[in-house]
Structures are given as C-alpha cells and as structure tokens.
Amino acid sequence: MTKRVPELSLRAYTHGDAASRTAFSADLFRGLTDYGFFTLTDHNVSGELLEQAYDLSARVFALPEAVKRRYAAGMRGYTPFGVEHAKDNVRADLKEFWQIGHDPSADAPADALFPANVWPSEVPQFKDTFTRLFAALNETGQILLRALAPNLGLEERYFDPLVEHGTSLLRVLHYPPVAADIEPGAVRAAAHEDINFITILVAAKGAGLELLDRDGSWLPVETAARNLIVDSGDMLQRLTNGIIPSTTHRVVNPDGAENVSRYSMPFFMHPTLATPLNVLDSCLGDGKRYEDITAGAFLHERLKAIGLAT
C-alpha cells in the first residue's frame, strides 16, 4: 500500500457538530506530528479563483525579464530567478517568484513589516485576483490554527491576535523548464524547512513536491488540483518544543516530457514581529529545547540564511 499524507475535510470543522470538530482537530494534530503535512479538501477557496490565479501567474512570469525586474521590491513584488537558496546550500534554487502580503494598515503594530504591495500594470487583473486569494488563504490559516490550539492546551482563538497583523506572505512561484546546462546539483527547491507557523500550499500545476518521512525516505506529496496542502514550520516547532516538527521538503527536477513550467502558490502564515516564540508551558516536558526569541528576530535570521536579507 502506497503511503500518503492524511487527507482532511475542512467542512468537518466549519460545518460539523462538536464530535466532527473534535475529530478534525485530532486528525490535524496527528497529521502534523506524524508527517508535518496533510492535504485539505472542502475548503473556502473557490476553484474558479484558483484557476484565475494560475492563468494570471503564467501571464506575469511570461513578461520580459526587464519588465519583471522593474517590480523587484524586496519582500514584495518580484524576486528574480536564481536569487533564493535553501539554508546551508550555496546553490540557488531554480525558481522566480512574486510576493504579496497584508496591505499597510493603521491598525497594525508600529513595528509591522508592511511595505506596500507591488502589482504589475501589464496584467491588471493580477491585483484583484491575488488580493482575494490572499484573503481566502489567510482565513483558512486562521481556521486551522483555531482547530490546532486545543491540542496544545490553548484557548481556541489564542493565535488570532498573533496572526491578524502578522507578516504572512503569499508567494507565487514559477519553476521554468530545467535547462540542460544548469549547475550540477542545482534543483528547483533544495531540501528545506519553512520558517513560519504553517504553510498553506495551493496544489501545484506540476509534480515534484516531496517530504522527508520519519523513516528517512522521500515521500511524494500529491493531491487533486483544487485541494490545499498544509505543513508546519520552524516557528510552530519552536513554540511546541518540537512536538510539532518542521518537516524537511523539496521540489525535485522533472524528467523528460514533464520538464515544463511548474507553478505553485504557498501562503506562509506568520505572526507579528513582536510575537515571542517561547516554548508553551503545555509543551515544556523535561525542559525546553529552544531559546527564547521573537518572531521578528528569528525571521530576520532565517531570511539572511536564504539570501533574502542582509
């Protein structure tokens, strides 16, 4: 029997009775502790919106390189091919991407990292579609964190104020066809762990995502085109003292006829910069494995390690 990450229905939590909600929360917790991943059906992101997003992302990345580079603005807008690399890996990943975050808000904390979003005028529908997609994925993330909280001895809405004005990012990724003359050992996305609380990934157009299973083998992560894939990141690992691990994953290079463009849209759910990542009292066990640090300090440390900050 082929091993697969668990598949959960979000509707069981949002529309189910108390027993269904409890079962969903338990299955979510089990998926993250056993695999660090699960897939999600019956969610609140419309299939029509996802198809629009894929069509528009293909149009944006097909723009001339010189045009795309006009929209390079650090943590917003365009990041060119070959800039980011995995932590402790000197080879750049074979990808380019566009990043969207919360819009600047008067209600946000003074230290919030909220630069203005950057939108390509050449594809005017991009702004509306990805603003709506960001909002939908952000809502999904809040629901999942509410479902997770009781498993950690926390009140259901414990995470709400931490992520409401967090530094969450929607990253629109393009992995071009892999060229024959690439640097030996270079891959679409080298083995890495995510930085944030949780990542919600729109099932990619194209295979290649794999997780490092607990037995040391690489396990493909596959699901239907309109489903979501969820994984836990380093910040949640620190908060839970490793009870919920940050699972290593990668995107491998394609072979033969599969060597075509791959598009992917991960939503990285982050807390506010001031959020302490101190181990929760309920997770201390025999002692904490991680030193106290704020989310802002940890984020900067990790962005430096992958080439996106100095």
The DSSP annotation for 179-190 comes to PTTPPTT--SEE
Residues 159, 183: Cα–Cα separation, whole Å: 42
Give 126-152 pLDDT, tens digit per residue. Answer: 999 999 999 999 999 999 999 999 999
pTM of the model as a whole: 0.93
Q: Compare 2 and 134 and report the one with higher pLDDT.
A: 134
Q: What percent of the chain has pLDDT over 90?
A: 61
The mean pLDDT value for 104-123 works out to 80
Give 184-238 pLDDT, tens digit per residue. Answer: 788 888 888 999 999 999 866 667 888 888 888 898 888 887 889 999 999 999 9
All structural domains of the chain, each given as residue ranges with its CATH number in brackets, are 42-305 (2.60.120.330)
CA dihedral 55, 61, 62, 65 (to 10 degrees): 170
Instruction: Give the chain's largest Cα–Cα span.
Output: 56
pLDDT of res. 1:
47
Give 84-110 pLDDT, tens digit per residue. Answer: 777 877 788 889 999 999 987 777 766
Q: Compare 310 and 97 and report the one with higher pLDDT.
A: 97
Which pair of structure tokens corresponds to residue 267? 């939503």
